[in-house]
């Protein structure tokens, strides 16, 4: 369980990224976080794994106060939380399987990590994770030879190798074409349902958020303005989240002027 209790985040320049956030997210939920650029979507998910520190309130994960962690405790805590980025963050000049194997490095003795020595069990686990996202056949291909969608699947397989309880995804399909974006979202949905992994996705595609997530959190200027089932996110709700700049097809209109 992830619990935000009156959480705020203020940056050194005085900007408030989050204001009085109160949320409870149960294990196994698929949550999409939507809102305009700069509304606080990325800030919200990045506080969960302490990429950003909260400045007020309390944030707990499975009863653990996130801000109380440091050193080895914090590193161990982060191992339970996978993070997917828009830019994939792969080592593009090496093979797909070697990218997935990097998931084991934090838990390896220094000599094995230094020389890239992996056990048979680790290699089998990496191949299993690639199979779960449908690109086992690309295991020994260089990452830079893959399409954008395939690279995002490698990043997802690498995250699965951690055995996470939670996956945070920061605009994971923003750089993909519509067809590929849906394929990647299918992977997230299947992993969520089959493995009971909590998935929190910060996403700017409103239609994908409504079609794939079971719960939608709308954020505007750092405040939660909607939290409920995707099926109940009406046009009126979307207008409140996006300040009237989203059409009936789910396209966000750019601000003029």
The pLDDT of 5-12, averaged and rounded, is 96
How far is residue 25's CA from residue 229's CA, in Å, rounded to a whole number?
Answer: 13
Tell me, yes or no, if the pTM score tops 0.85.
Answer: yes
Beta carbons of 54 and 7 less than 8 angstroms apart = yes
Pick the CATH number of 1-80+168-177+198-248 from 3.40.50.300, 3.30.565.10, 3.40.80.10, 1.10.8.100: 3.40.50.300
Could you report the per-residue pLDDT of 127-170, keeping only the tens digit for each? 999 999 999 999 999 999 999 999 999 999 999 999 999 999 99
The pLDDT of 61-82, averaged and rounded, is 93
Residue 184 neighbours by CB distance under 10 Å: 23
Domain ranges of the chain: 1-80+168-177+198-248, 88-163
> Which letter, b or e, does each residue of 51-61 get, where b requires 16 or more Cβ atoms within 10 Å of its Cβ?
ebebbebebbb
User: What does the mean pLDDT of the chain come to?
Assistant: 92
């Amino acid at each position: 369980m992830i619990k935000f209790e009156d959480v705020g985040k203020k940056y050194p320049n005085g900007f408030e990224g989050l204001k009085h956030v109160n949320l409870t997210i149960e294990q196994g939920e698929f949550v999409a976080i939507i809102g305009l650029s700069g509304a606080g979507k990325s800030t919200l998910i990045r506080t969960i794994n302490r990429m950003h520190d909260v400045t007020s309130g309390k944030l707990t994960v499975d009863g653990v106060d996130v801000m109380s962690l440091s050193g080895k405790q914090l590193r161990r805590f982060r191992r339970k939380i996978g993070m997917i980025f828009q830019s994939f963050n792969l080592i593009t000049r090496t093979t797909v399987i070697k990218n997935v194997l990097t998931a084991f490095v934090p838990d390896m003795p220094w000599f094995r990590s230094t020389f890239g020595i992996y056990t048979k069990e680790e290699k089998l686990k990496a191949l299993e994770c690639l199979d779960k996202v449908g690109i086992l056949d690309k295991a020994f291909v260089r990452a830079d030879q893959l399409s954008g969608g395939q690279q995002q699947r490698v990043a997802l397989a690498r995250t699965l190798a951690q055995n996470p309880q939670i996956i945070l995804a920061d605009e994971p399909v923003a750089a993909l074409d519509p067809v590929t974006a849906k394929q990647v979202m299918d992977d997230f949905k299947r992993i969520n349902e089959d493995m009971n992994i909590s998935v929190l996705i910060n996403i700017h595609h409103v239609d994908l958020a409504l079609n794939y997530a079971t719960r939608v959190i709308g954020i505007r200027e750092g405040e939660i303005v909607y939290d409920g089932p995707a099926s109940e996110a009406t046009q009126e709700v979307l207008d409140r989240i996006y300040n009237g700049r989203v059409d009936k097809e789910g396209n966000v209109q750019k601000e003029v002027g």
